[in-house]
Structure 1
Amino acid sequence: MSADTHPTPVAEPGVAEPGPPPPSAPDPFVSVTGWGRTAPTTASVLRPRSPAEAAEAVRDWGVRGGIARGLGRAYGDAAQSAGGTVLDMTALRRIHAIDDATGTVVCDAGVSLHRLMEVLLPLGWFVPVTPGTRQVTVGGAIGADVHGKNHHISGSFSRHVHAIELLTADGGIHTVVPGTELFDATAGGMGLTGVILSATLQLHRVETSLISVDTERVAGLDDLMARLAATDHHYRYSVAWIDLLARGRSLGRAVLTRGEHAPLDALPARARRNPLAFRPGQLPAPPAFVPAGLLNRTTVGLFNEFWYRRAPRSRTGRLQRLSAFFHPLDAVPHWNRIYGRDGFVQYQFVVGHGQEETLHRIIARISRRRCPSFLAVLKRFGEAGPGWLSFPMPGWTLALDIPAGLDGLGAFLDELDEEVAAAGGRVYLAKDSRLRPELLAGMYPRLADFRSLRSRLDPCGVFTSDLSRRLTL
C-alpha cells in the first residue's frame, strides 16, 4: 500500500487493509534481503492468506526451516532464511475489533502501522510506540520490540501489547500474555519463538493529528547530553540529529527536537475543521540505479552543514504533521537506494547511564574515522522492557547509517562492538547483519534463557533465520 493513501474512518470490526490478497502458492527461490541490502540470500517465499495456511506452511517447510517476514524493514538479516522458507505475512492484514471505550485494537500481525494510523487517527487514537518508519507490521514491531522517540516515557512496543496469538513449531496456536516466559522470549525474539498471527494492543488517546514541536540548535556533545538529561522528562517525544562529521569544539553538534501531541485548542481555526486528518505526503522515488560513492565525506559533509545551519537556534510550538515528525523518510519510496548497489549498514548501540565517557569516546572515534553518516540520531532510553532479547535498556542510544562500501568498515565496527560490550551495552539485532557471536552473551544477559526455551519449544529448529544461524540463537 502506498504511503499517500488517505484515511478511511471505521468504527466497526473486521476492517481489512485494502488491496487484493497475494497468492498463497510459494514462489521459487528468490533473493531476499534486509532494508540495508547488505547480506542477500535466497529462499522460497510463501504468502499465507489465513492462520490455517500459515500453520500448514510451518508443518511442511522442510529441514532448512524458515522465518516470518513483514514489510522487510529490518535492516539486517533477521527476516531471511537462506535455502529455507520466508513466510510473508502481509496478506494477514485485518483489523478485527476496535474498542473505543478502552482504547484497544485487535488486528492481524500483517497489519502495518501505517494502516493503523489511517483507521485509528480519525477515531482519536494513535499507536503507543512508532519507530522511524510506519511501514512496519504489528508482528514485526513485536518481534523486534521496536522503540521510538518516546521510549523514556512509554517504553518499547511490547509494553503496550495485551495478548498475542502465536503459531509455534508444533503447529499449535497459543494465546500468549505478558508475564509469561513465552511472551518475554517473543517480545524482541526476532520471530524465533513462532509466527505472530494477531495481537491486542493498547492505544494512546489524541485530540489532533499534529505534533507541537520545540527545536533548538546545540553547539556540542556535552551541551546536548546535558539538555537531554535535564529536560527529557518534560516531553513525550525527544530525539537529536547529530553531526558525526563535526570535530574539535563542534564535536557532536546537533539539532534537538522534542514534541507533544497538540491539543485541539492549539490549532488554528482552519485546522480545527478536521483536526484528526492523516494525509502523509510522498516525494518521487530515487532512481533504481544510484552511482557508487554518491554519499561520501564531501557530499554528506555539505548536507550536514546545511541541515545544522537551517535549523532554528530556538523555536517552540511549531505544529507539524505526524508523518513529518515521526517518519520523514517514508515520504521517499525506496530511499535505501541512495546508498548505491553496496547498500548501507545501520549501526545502533546503547550504553547505560554512567557510561557517558564511553559514548563520548565512540562518537569521537566515528568523527575521526570520518564516517559519512547523515542519518545519525541520539536518544535517551527509559526502563527496559521484559523481552529477553529486547534491545532498549536505560541509557544512551546512537543510531547511524554508513555506506557499506566504506573501506575498512567491518574492522572498525568490530572495534566499536567490543567497546560497547565492555561498557555493558548492546547492539540492536533488528539492524544487525555482522555482529560476531562471541560478543552476544555479554550484551544480552538473558541469552541462555532464550536458547533454553527455544530448544524446548522448537527442538528441530523449525524457526530459523540467517540471523539465528550467524549468532547461534
Structure 2
Amino acid sequence: MRLTGWGRKPAVDAEVFAPYSIPDLRSRFPRARFRGIPRGNGRSYGDSALAPQVLSSRRLDRFLAFDAETGVLRCEAGVLLADILDVFVPRGWFLHATPGTKLISVGGAIASDVHGKSHHLEGCFSRHVERFSLMLADGGIVDCSTTQHADLFRASCGGMGLTGFILEATLRLKRIRSAYLRETTFKADDLDHALSLFAEQSGAPYSVAWIDCLATGPRLGRSLLMTGDFIDDGRLHGIAKTPLSVPVDAPGFALNRYSVAAFNALYYHRVRGRQRERVVHFDPFFYPLDGIGHWNRIYGKSGFTQYQFVIPKASGAAGIEEVLQRIAAFKRGSFLAVLKTFGPANGNPLSFPMEGYTLALDFRLEPGLLPFLEELDRIVLDHGGRLYLTKDVRMSAETFRAGYPRWKEFQDLRRKYGADTTFRSLQSERLGL
C-alpha cells in the first residue's frame, strides 16, 4: 500500500498489518519478521508513521468501558478523538487536551503526546491518561501507567511509536454543560502586544493566536488572539454542517507571497474593533480545518511541511521576533501561522512542550525551503528551543539531539526492551534512533 503523512511527502510502499482484535493480532501478526512502525490515522505531517512495514490500529476502534460518574473512558487505540466527541459530548463530556484536529487516534495522541489550546493550564494528553497496554517487541503485553512500568509509560508518551504498539488506553474526560464556548478575539498590533495579551489572558481555559508572519516593521507579529471557555446553557448537541472538500490539487503557483500576504491582510482586518465576543460551537473553535476534507491539497502535488517549534519563555519574544524577521525576508510566509503558550514541561523524554511559546507554520515544499528551515533551526536552538517530532519531515540528527537532550535515555530504554531492532520509522532512522 502506498502511504504518506498528512504533508504528502515522502511516500513509501508499505506492507500493512491491520488486526481486528488483540486475539487476531496475537494469531496472525508476523512478529518475527516485523521491522516497522505503529500507525494510527496517518495525520502526523511527516515520516514518523512511515516504514516499509506498518502495524495499523485503525481496526481496533471499540469503546470498552465508561464510568458516567467520573468520566473515565477505556477504549482501543484506534478510536478517533472524533469518535469520542460524537458519543460523549451529548452526554456532557469533553477532552482535557486536544490538538487542532480530532481526526487522530487515541494511540496516536499518546505517541505524539499531543497538546492544544489548554496546555498552559491542563498540560499534554498524557496528563489525562491513566494507563495503556503496550505490545512489546517480543510480543508480550504490559500495562503502563505512572506506577506500573513507569519508564515505558513516560517514554511512550511522546515516543512516536518507537517503544511498542499501544493496544488500548484508559483516559479521563472533563465535564461540560454545553457544546458551545464564549470566544473573545483580541486584536494585537505587534508581537509584544500579542505576548502581553497572552499574559493578561493566562487564566482563560483556552487561548491561541493567529499571527501574520509576513507583516514587517512596526506591524511585525500583528495577531488575532482568541480565548474561549465553555458556557453553561445545557445545549450539548452538535450543529449540522455541510461538509466541504478540496476536490483537486491546487496549482503550485496558487500559494505565493502575494496571495498569502493578501489573505493575511484580509484575515487580520476581519475583526474591526479591538475586541469581539461571540458564542461558537466547539467544532469551529477547536477544529476549523476538519470541516474541509483534503485541505492538504491546497499546497499542490509537491506537498507541504509544518514547522513547529517551542522557545522557553525567557527568550521567547526575541526568538520569535528573529524567526518572523527571517520569514518576512524569505517572502514565502504561511497563512496558517499559530502561536500558543505552553505551561511547564512534563517528565517524558521526547514530549515536545516546555514552558514558553510555540509557533507553527505551514510551508509548501519547494526549492530553497529546506536550507531556509535549517536557518530557522539554528535560531530555535540558539534560544534553547526544539522542534515537534509529529510535524517534522527533515530535521537533522544533530538538531534533534540538541533539542531533546534526553534522547540517549530514550534510546537506552528502547534497547532494554528490544524495541530498537523492531520498531523503526523513516523518521527514527533519519534522527539516528
Q: Give the TM-score range, shorter chain.
A: over 0.9
Which residue among 75, 97, 105 is the counterpart of 2:45?
A: 75
For 2:159, give the aligned amino acid: G
Is 1:244–2:213 an aligned residue pair?
yes
After superposition, the Cα gap between the structure-2 partners of 1:304 and 1:457, relative to the gap in structure 1 and judged at 3 Å, is same
Give the SS at the match of 1:374.
coil
Q: How many aligned residue pairs are there?
A: 430
Is 1:369–2:330 an aligned residue pair?
yes
After superposition, the Cα gap between the structure-2 partners of 1:336 and 1:374, relative to the gap in structure 1 and judged at 3 Å, is same
Is 1:303–2:266 an aligned residue pair?
no
Separation in structure 2 between the aligned mates of residue 253 and residue 48 of structure 1, nearest angstrom: 48
Which residue among 221, 230, 233 is the counterpart of 2:191?
A: 221
**Is the Cα contact below 8 Å between 1:350 and 1:426 reproduced in 2?**
yes
Separation in structure 2 between the aligned mates of residue 291 and residue 169 of structure 1, nearest angstrom: 44
Report the alpha carbon displacement of residue 371 of structure 1 after superposing the two structures with TM: 2.1
Residue in 2 aligned with 1:19? none
Which residue among 333, 339, 349 is the counterpart of 2:299?
A: 339
Residue in 1 aligned with 2:124? 156
Residue in 2 aligned with 1:7? none
**Is the Cα contact below 8 Å between 1:55 and 1:167 reproduced in 2?**
no
**Is the Cα contact below 8 Å between 2:180 and 2:281 reproduced in 1?**
yes
Give the SS at the match of 1:293.
helix
**Is the Cα contact below 8 Å between 1:92 and 1:109 reproduced in 2?**
yes
For 2:369, give the aligned amino acid: L
Separation in structure 2 between the aligned mates of residue 280 and residue 447 of structure 1, nearest angstrom: 46
Separation in structure 1 between the aligned mates of residue 400 and residue 333 of structure 2, nearest angstrom: 27
Is 1:192–2:162 an aligned residue pair?
yes
Is 1:439–2:399 an aligned residue pair?
yes
203-212 or 279-288, which moves further after superposition? 279-288
52-61 or 222-231, which moves further after superposition? 52-61
Q: Deviations over 1:77-127 (max 9, x none)?
A: 00110x3x1112111011111101111100010000000001111111101
After superposition, the Cα gap between the structure-2 partners of 1:280 and 1:418, relative to the gap in structure 1 and judged at 3 Å, is farther
Which residue among 140, 145, 148 is the counterpart of 2:108?
A: 140
Separation in structure 2 between the aligned mates of residue 448 and residue 141 of structure 1, nearest angstrom: 23
Which residue among 120, 124, 142 is the counterpart of 2:88?
A: 120
**Is the Cα contact below 8 Å between 2:118 and 2:206 reproduced in 1?**
yes
Once the two structures are superposed, the pairs formed by residues 381-396 of structure 1 within 5 Å of their partners are: 381-396=342-357
Report the alpha carbon displacement of residue 61 of structure 1 after superposing the two structures with TM: 6.1
151-160 or 362-371, which moves further after superposition? 362-371
Residue in 2 aligned with 1:42? 13
Residue in 2 aligned with 1:417? 377
**Is the Cα contact below 8 Å between 2:38 and 2:161 reproduced in 1?**
yes
Is 1:286–2:246 an aligned residue pair?
yes
Report the alpha carbon displacement of residue 214 of structure 1 after superposing the two structures with TM: 0.5
**Structure 1 runs of 4+ off > 3 angstroms?**
55-61, 314-317
Gaps in structure 1 of 5+ consecutive residues: 1-29, 265-271
**Is the Cα contact below 8 Å between 1:143 and 1:190 reproduced in 2?**
yes
Residue in 2 aligned with 1:398? 359
Residue in 2 aligned with 1:466? 426
365-374 or 339-348, which moves further after superposition? 365-374
**What is the root-mean-square deviation in Å for CA atoms of aligned residues?**
1.4
Separation in structure 2 between the aligned mates of residue 459 and residue 93 of structure 1, nearest angstrom: 25
Report the alpha carbon displacement of residue 289 of structure 1 after superposing the two structures with TM: 3.0
Report the alpha carbon displacement of residue 470 of structure 1 after superposing the two structures with TM: 0.7
Report the alpha carbon displacement of residue 49 of structure 1 after superposing the two structures with TM: 0.3
**Is the Cα contact below 8 Å between 1:58 and 1:169 reproduced in 2?**
no
For 2:62, give the aligned amino acid: R
**Is the Cα contact below 8 Å between 2:63 and 2:76 reproduced in 1?**
yes
Residue in 2 aligned with 1:258? 227
Gaps in structure 2 of 5+ consecutive residues: none
Give the SS at the match of 1:347.
strand
**Is the Cα contact below 8 Å between 1:216 and 1:312 reproduced in 2?**
no
After superposition, the Cα gap between the structure-2 partners of 1:96 and 1:279, relative to the gap in structure 1 and judged at 3 Å, is farther
Report the alpha carbon displacement of residue 62 of structure 1 after superposing the two structures with TM: 2.0
After superposition, the Cα gap between the structure-2 partners of 1:280 and 1:174, relative to the gap in structure 1 and judged at 3 Å, is farther
Separation in structure 2 between the aligned mates of residue 56 and residue 386 of structure 1, nearest angstrom: 36
Give the SS at the match of 1:191.
coil
For 2:264, give the aligned amino acid: N
Q: Deviations over 1:380-423 (max 9, x none)?
A: 10011222100000001000001111x31111101111221222
Separation in structure 1 between the aligned mates of residue 28 and residue 296 of structure 2, nearest angstrom: 31
TM-score, normalization: structure 2? 0.96
Aligned sequence identity (%): 43
Separation in structure 2 between the aligned mates of residue 336 and residue 39 of structure 1, nearest angstrom: 14
Report the alpha carbon displacement of residue 70 of structure 1 after superposing the two structures with TM: 1.0
Separation in structure 2 between the aligned mates of residue 104 and residue 381 of structure 1, nearest angstrom: 25
After superposition, the Cα gap between the structure-2 partners of 1:280 and 1:204, relative to the gap in structure 1 and judged at 3 Å, is farther
**Is the Cα contact below 8 Å between 2:17 and 2:29 reproduced in 1?**
no
TM-score, normalization: structure 1? 0.88
**Is the Cα contact below 8 Å between 1:103 and 1:205 reproduced in 2?**
yes
Is 1:205–2:175 an aligned residue pair?
yes
